Amino acid sequence: MNELSRAQIRDLMAQVLKNQDKELPADDAAQLREIGFRSLDFSELALRVEDETGEELNFDAPGLRRIATVGDVLDFLVELQHQ
């Protein structure tokens, strides 16, 4: 399966934020709340990953609610691609 690396997902995440004139900090521990990355931004990112890999990524909301940092987003999407 065509799979995106953590670094590739990070690039896509930076693009999602850039479109809103926001910047993605280099630090994985940065808080999403502070950057202004919200749940629909996460949706957009997940759909961009889908576009690249051609695989649907479906998931429940509870997992989403546990995501607080940039690192959490990247981990979640890396993990999701393995399911």
Partner 1 sequence: MSEPADTQLVPPSSVVLVSGGSRGLGLAIVTDLLDAGVRVAAFARTITPELEKLAAEHPDRVHVGSVDVTDLRAAQSFVREVEQRLGPIDGIVNNAAMGQDSLHAHTATEDIARIIETNLTAPLQLTRLVIRRMLAKGLRGRIVNITSICGQRGFPGLVAYSATKGGMDAATRSLARELGGRMLVNSVAPGFFASEMSAVLGPTQLDQIVRRTPTGHLTEPVEVTPVVRMLLREHTNINGQVIVVDGAASI
Q: Nearer Cβ to partner 1, position 34 or 65?
A: 65
Q: Nearer Cβ to partner 1, position 26 or 58?
A: 58
Residues that bind partner 1 (CB under 8 A): 39, 43, 46-47, 56-62, 64-65
Q: Nearer Cβ to partner 1, position 2 or 58?
A: 58
CB of 45 to partner 1, least distance (A): 11
CB of 4 to partner 1, least distance (A): 17
Q: Read out DSSP for 18-77? A: HTTT----S-TT-BHHHHT--HHHHHHHHHHHHHHH-------HHHHHT--BHHHHHHHH
CA 36, CA 33: separation in Å to the nearest integer? 5
